[in-house]
Structure 1
Amino acid sequence: MAGQWMMILIGVSLWTTCSAAPTECHFNSQALCEYEGKHYLLGQSWMEKGCIQCTCLHPFGVGCCETVQQPVDFPPWCQVRVESVTCKVILVLTSDPRLPCIPGDENNVDPSHGDMNVKLAG
Structure 2
Amino acid sequence: MECHFNSRALCVFEGRHYSLGETWMDNACMQCTCLHPVGVGCCETVHRPVDFPAWCEVRVEPVTCKVSLVQAADPRLPCSPGEDIKDPSHGSLQLQQQLNG
Q: Do both proteins adopt the same fold according to a TM-score greater than 0.5, normalized to the shorter chain?
A: yes
Q: Which residue matches 1:5?
A: none
Bigger fraction of residues in helix: 1
Q: Which amino acid aligns with 1:70?
A: R
User: C-alpha distance in 2, partners of 1:61/1:94?
Assistant: 36
Match of 1:35 in 2: 13
What is the correspondence of 1:37-76 to structure 2 with a 5 Å cutoff?
37-76=15-54
Structure 1 vs Structure 2: percent identity of aligned residues? 68
Q: TM-score, normalised by structure 1?
A: 0.61
Specify whether residues 95 and 61 from structure 1 end up closer, same or farther in structure 2 by C-alpha distance, changes over 3 A only. Answer: closer
Q: For the structure 1 residues 98 and 48, does the alpha-carbon distance in structure 2 shift closer, same or farther, using more than 3 Å as the test? A: same
Relative to structure 1, the CA distance from residue 28 to residue 79 in structure 2 (aligned partners, 3 Å threshold; closer, same or farther) is closer
Shift of 1:33: 0.8
In structure 1, runs of 5+ residues without a counterpart are: 1-22, 117-122
Aligned-pair RMSD on alpha carbons?
2.4
Evaluate the alpha carbon distance shift between residue 29 and residue 78 of structure 1 in structure 2; reply closer, same or farther with a 3 A threshold: closer
- What's the secondary structure of 2:19's corresponding residue? coil
Structure-1 residue corresponding to 2:99: none
With structure 2 as the length reference, what TM-score do the two structures score?
0.71
Task: Give 1:52 shift.
Answer: 2.1
1:79 aligns with 2:57: yes
Alpha-carbon shift at residue 103 of structure 1 (Å): 1.1
CA distance in 1, matches of 2:71, 2:44: 24
- Between structures 1 and 2, the one with greater strand share: 2
> How many pairs were matched up?
93
